[in-house]
Amino acid sequence: MSTARRVAVIGGGPGGLYAAALLKRLDPAREVTVWERNAPDDTFGFGVVLSDETLGGIEHADPAVHAALQAEFVRWDDIDIVHRERRHTSGGHGFAALGRRRLLQILHERCRDLGVELRFRAEAPPAAELSTAYDLVVAADGVHSLTREAHAEAFGPEITTHRCRYIWLAADFAFDAFRFEIAETEHGVMQLHGYPYARDASTVIVEMREEVWEAAGFDGLDERESTERCAKIFADALGGRPLRGNNSSWTTFRTVVNSRWSHGNTVLIGDAAHTAHFSIGSGTKLAVEDALALAACLQEQPGLPAALRAYEAERRPVVASTQRAARASLEWFERIADHLDQPPRQFAFNLLTRSRRVTHDNLRLRDAEFTRAVEREFGCPEGTPPMFTPFRLRGLTLRNRVVVSPMDMYSAVDGVPGDFHLVHLGARALGGAGLVMTEMVCVSEHGRITPGCAGLYTAEQADAWRRITDFAHARAPGTAIGVQLGHSGRKGSTKLMWEGIDDPLPDGNWPLLAASPLPYKPGSQTPHELSRAGLTEIREEFAAAAARAERAGFDLLELHCAHGYLLSGFLSPLTNHRTDAYGGSLEARLRYPLEVFDAVRDAWPADKPMTVRISATDWADGGTTAQDAVEIARAFAAHGADAIDVSTGQVVADERPAYGRSYQTPYADRIRNETGIPVLTVGAISSWDDVNSLLLAGRADLCALARPHLYDPHWTLHAAAEQGYEGPGAPWPVQYRAGSRRPQTGRTDAPKPRLTLKSRRPA
């Protein structure tokens, strides 16, 4: 057990108070002191929502606090979404809330009962001073933590300010559901988030983009005026009743991330360590869970350093996951205007699933009737999951929405695909996906990434590809097979991936060509800047490869304009430093990729679709932005692209991607809903539930998966089996039909003992 005998807690919010109570309860001899600069009854905000998971932890750790909370909670199950005078209700969600002031009173009482010293209206001494007099300093001093700022070099904070203004208010009546209401005003879109926290009171948060807030004149209003104005805007939701504030002011949300949560014997918890947007209701929840974990680690570990390491190791993955969900939710509300024209139920489903915590599958369990209504509106035949609905691109109808994403195999010889490619792509065609894509197929020998890359620059290569497409069409009828054409640009002449990804060949290098003479990374070969003659030559190589792709029997062609390869290198300002007509503005940077697209489109049959893969962000300062990506997509669509395959990054070596589940989808969502162009989304989509959720929410039209198809070539068929679907969207090959049901396994549900007999004590 850690020997933290004297503990100082900076901040008397829920996290700090609960940490103090737990630490004192676990060791009554421990001296615990809490400093809170406000009075006991001062509090900001109104209601607090806690999950059943958090309550379970509280019940286990301190039944007295749990019992007091249970007596105060108001509970409800429904979420109401009101948009354009239509209300849609989804049930089965399960919420519990109470007033923040009452929560603090319960924790004050518990601390006093246990002997914690509470010092109100008292500024805590600096953490550096407390750390010399106390064994442990718990910094629970909130989003504006002075402790974190005083030791910024140690904690490494990164703080991001976001694009909406919001204000916390209250209404003196209880909503009968968690309510989201959208107001489309002359100044722009505003939204209300409301929920009950007592039998006669509700929290009301009003939120809008900064520019809407300014246009509406809120920047010139005081608290009373803002409150009255918000009540008028949302009069229908409030039933004409007033709102009230509590030292309420308009603010912008700040996401706080720290590279470390402890420094010496000082540790951060709650908002001092991390924040998560209020739209997923996690601030108090995270703080309370931090307190639980910190107390447990101090109890379990042999010393303070080990305890603080264990605390951070336990909590950081949970917090990171929550922050990813909160960021997705926050950004969805920032761009809510993009979704307003969706069909009403789809809009409601999109809002409910915005954070990816609620999905199609668990929403179907919570509220099957609502989910079926959304599916009908989407066009799902009865009993058909969204992923197995067909989708049409030009003259090609895909039987389902699953795409085997392009994956470089680096296994060709002199650009010729062989038996490996036949088995690899043939297996995935048999596996049920609607569209199977080749790896990037290079348009010339000097356009290869590695010596193992496949090509379409000779007749022999085209014949080899024909063998593969013939197999797919004959043995997996209904499966489409697409080719992705590209040129490596400055990322060519490198080793096979498993020998050193993006590392130059030790010998046998070929010269590289690119938009500008910039090496990909230190030690990479410096490419030659393409001349006018070189631009023309490569454009014609793309067109010739497209003609060979038609003779090879492909159903769809994708132009690779992503990941830092040649055409992507023209699009990004980080890799295109040209001063001629092909560099400078986005319009100029688009010029050459569009010239290539036009040449390929002319060489490709008019009834066959073409898609374009782009990197929607470079994940680097000064690079392609999300708005640039929207304009890039519009430009390709205007030239005849049938869909945009939305990927991100891999353009510059010093990128900083924000990885996470379906982390690239927001870019696809934005392009689709701002432009109306069909999109493929890709990136960390790993479950059929994710696919159904993304499609039904209208964030994408097709979902491309790579690693899941490496793990399981029959991923799509297994997804159908697991959902009990046996329709035309996922037919099993006759040879495999006997395996279309999940194999039986041994029983794991052994009968539970009915009685527990205590052994008799010896006489």
Give me the active site residues, please: 565
Residue holding tokens 């974990």? Answer: 293
Strand duo 178-185 + 79-83: pairing? parallel
Q: Dihedral of the CA atoms 284, 285, 289, 292 (nearest 10)?
A: 60
From the CB of residue 150, how many other CB atoms can be counted at a distance below 10 Å?
A: 16
Strand duo 402-404 + 435-442: pairing? parallel
Q: Quote the strand ranges of 3-102, DSSP E.
A: 6-10, 31-36, 47-50, 74-76, 79-83, 86-90, 95-99
Strand duo 31-36 + 117-120: pairing? parallel
Instruction: Give how far Cα 585 sits from Cα of 571, 572, 615, Å.
Output: 10, 10, 17
DSSP H or E run through 119:
strand 117-120
**C-alpha–C-alpha distance, residues 756 and 93, integer Å:** 36
Strand duo 251-258 + 157-171: pairing? antiparallel
Give the 3-state secondary structure of residue 235: helix
Is 460 within 8 Å of 575 (Cβ atoms)? Answer: no
CA 435 to chain centroid, in Å, comes to: 24
Give the 3-state secondary structure of residue 411: coil
Is 75 within 8 Å of 96 (Cβ atoms)? Answer: yes
**C-alpha–C-alpha distance, residues 105 and 121, integer Å:** 16
121: left (phi over 0), alpha (psi -120 to 50) or beta: left
**C-alpha–C-alpha distance, residues 404 and 752, integer Å:** 44
Instruction: Give how far Cα 100 sits from Cα of 46, 72, 243, Å.
Output: 5, 11, 17
Q: 634: which 2 tokens? A: 């519009």
Is 523 within 8 Å of 509 (Cβ atoms)? Answer: no
Is 70 within 8 Å of 62 (Cβ atoms)? Answer: no
Instruction: Give how far Cα 663 sits from Cα of 370, 614, 681, 706, 709, Å.
Output: 27, 15, 10, 14, 18
489: left (phi over 0), alpha (psi -120 to 50) or beta: left
Q: Which 8-state DSSP code applies to residue 167?
A: E
Sign of CA pseudo-dihedral 289, 291, 296, 297: positive
**C-alpha–C-alpha distance, residues 469 and 385, integer Å:** 28
Sign of CA pseudo-dihedral 210, 215, 216, 220: positive
Q: Which residues pair with 104 in a beta bridge?
A: none
Rounded to 10°, the helix 532-551/459-475 angle is 40
